Amino acid sequence: MSIKDILFGSDEEKAADNAARETENADGALVSRDMLVGEIIMKYPAAADFLMSCGMGCIFCPSSQMETLEMAAMVHGLDAGDICNALNETLAKNLQTDEAASENVKEAVNQ
C-alpha cells in the first residue's frame, strides 16, 4: 500500500465508491446529498447559479471541494433533502431544454 493510497484511497476503493454512487442514483436523480459540491458544479455548471440563489454564495471557495451537498446545506441552515430535490428538478429541466435545442439544430442542419 502506497502513501497515495493511504491519503487518497486506492483505485479499487474509488471504483467501488463510484459504483455505489451510481447505484444510489439509479432512481434517475442526477445529484445526491453525498456528492461533493465541487463535483456537482464540475458535472453540472448550471448548478452553481441554483446553489447561489439558495444562499450558498461560497460554492467556489476551497471548502466546496471537500464538502458534500448535505454538509454545505447544513452550514447554511438549509434542508439538504429539499435542496437536493429542487436541484435535481432544475437540472432535469435544463437537460430537457438542452436536448430539445440540440434536436432543433440537427433538424435545421439536415433540411
- At residue 98, the pLDDT reads 62
- Spell out the domain ranges in the chain: 31-110
> What CA dihedral angle connects 7, 13, 19 and 21, to 10 degrees?
-30
If we measure between CA atoms, which residue out of 99, 76, 92 comes closest to residue 25?
Answer: 92
- At residue 5, the pLDDT reads 63
CATH of domain 31-110: 1.10.3910.10
Which H or E element spans position 53? helix 46-53
- pTM, entire model: 0.65
Per-10-residue mean pLDDT, the chain, length 111: 66 62 60 92 91 83 85 92 94 77 63 67
- At residue 3, the pLDDT reads 73
C-alpha cell at 26: 439509479
Which residue in the block uniquely carries the three cell numbers 502506497? 2
